[in-house]
Amino acid sequence: MQKTATADAAMPAANPPGTAAPVPAQAVVFPILISLSFSHLLNDLMQSLIPALYPMLKQQLHLDFAQVGMITLAFQLTASLLQPTIGIYTDRRPQPYSLAIGMGSTLIGLILLSTADEYATVLLAAALVGTGSAVFHPEASRVARMASGGRYGIAQALFQVGGNLGGAVGPLLAAFIVLPRGQGAIAWVSLAALLAMAVLTRVGMWYAARLGPSHTAARAAAGATGVPGTRAIFFVFVLMLLVFSKNVYSSSLTSFFTFYLIERFQLSVQDAQVQLFIFMAAIAVGTLAGGVLSDRIGRRPMIWISILGALPFTLALPYANLFWTAVLTIIIGMLMASAFPAILVYAHELLPGRVGLVSGVFFGFAFGLGGLGAAAMGWIADAHGIAFVYQLCSYLPAIGLVAWLLPNLEKPKPAA
């Protein structure tokens, strides 16, 4: 009797005439999400070595702050320009094994950086690492959504938190392994790219097995909803303003926080790197919490709370002592990071069926803004001092007020 009931429950209900068959609900595929998160960890760990090595490169190559900012620009602008293009292409022709192949560019970039003795070579190495990011992020974000089982916030958060953890570990790796042993130690870190390629090859096999009629049906069903034309473009612009406020401020911390701590509190390079690690770890916690909460309270409230809520703390940061600087950066990192999973999923809902394009635009836009912000703040720091940068940037979260313009796209949840 129980078997019959179970079989009947497993049978799909008949659809009314003239309606499309619904895409069957699936459970969250946590092994795939964890594999993507781990690969993201390795990817961003390797990338985070670049800003963590800025003090060493600045001293060895006799760079000024503007040149340091240009290194960030070379990395992030490359990723920014390529990601949307790759996203558009893979929306039409998914490339399951591009995830593993893209790591090759990061591998080459790190090997080149380990031997670079000229500023131009450092810029080229940074650009190659940026190319690896451009290939990785759009397709990995698509696979995370495929494996989400409808829990899009937590899926994107799990994917992104790996990158946050990698970004947090990178400065420690630089402080305690690369900096004491010199530039050549970067080559050993590049072995992480080989490990990531092996993991992503397995993910690509899972992805390839799920491409076909079911993927086409799911994409067609997703394309039947969304916000019409010009309204969707306007709301995407609003989301980009929010990403602007978040990423330019975050770039001020990731690119120049160590210099700020050394100049203001006379910390050693290693102690400053530990403080940067604490900030990056707070970003990882905030990202995961933001994904979980956005699935519970909704994307729009999460965006509103995370960005605008950071404003009082960013305004206080330039005037805090060393202890409160550490406390405030933890709060700021958690609040600001909690926005991005909600922003990305909200954008996916605005433009359904365009996961690669949306992910490429928003990851790429975030990289590009971070690079442009780092370059601009480098020039400002040279002209007015590094402390002035944090006073100026403290007002950026006020842009979070534009979240009020966003409509609620989420449908009411049916009763159990």
Question: With 80 as the cut, is the pLDDT of residue 172 above it?
Answer: no
What are the angstrom distances between the C-alpha of 390 and each of 2, 259, 309, 324, 396?
Answer: 65, 12, 18, 15, 10
What is the number of alpha carbons within 13 Å of residue 67 lying toward its C-beta?
A: 16
Per-residue pLDDT band at 35 (split at 50, 70, 90): very high
Q: Find the farthest-apart pair of alpha carbons in the chain and give their distance in angstroms, rounded.
A: 80
Query: What mean pLDDT is predicted for residues 302-309?
Result: 86
Token couple for 10: 């497993």
Superfamily grouping for domain 28-209+228-405: MFS general substrate transporter like domains (1.20.1250.20)
Query: What mean pLDDT is predicted for residues 296-303?
Result: 86
Among 5-9, 101-105, 325-329, 364-368, name the most confident range. Answer: 325-329
Among 148-152, 185-189, 195-199, 362-366, name the most confident range. Answer: 195-199
Tens-place pLDDT, residues 244-254: 888 888 877 77
DSSP codes joined into one string, 266-307: ---HHHHHHHHHHHHHHHHHHHHHHHHHHHHH-HHHHHHHHH
Share of the chain above pLDDT 70, in %: 86
166: amino acid identity, one letter: G
| CA–CA dist 251, 412 (Å, integer) | 37
Question: With 50 as the cut, is the pLDDT of residue 17 above it?
Answer: no
CB 334 within 8 A of CB 285: yes
CB 279 within 8 A of CB 250: no
Q: pLDDT averaged over the chain?
A: 80
Question: With 90 as the cut, is the pLDDT of residue 38 above it?
Answer: yes
| CA–CA dist 226, 219 (Å, integer) | 13
Per-residue pLDDT band at 366 (split at 50, 70, 90): low
Q: Where are the domains of the chain?
A: 28-209+228-405
Per-residue pLDDT band at 15 (split at 50, 70, 90): very low
Q: What length does the chain have?
A: 416
**What is the pLDDT, as a whole number, of residue 4?**
42
34: amino acid identity, one letter: I
| CA–CA dist 86, 137 (Å, integer) | 10
- In this prediction the pTM is 0.69
Secondary element (H or E) of residue 137: helix 119-146
Among 61-70, 159-168, 214-223, 319-328, name the most confident range. Answer: 319-328
Tens-place pLDDT, residues 91-143: 888 888 888 888 888 889 988 988 888 899 999 999 998 888 888 888 888 89
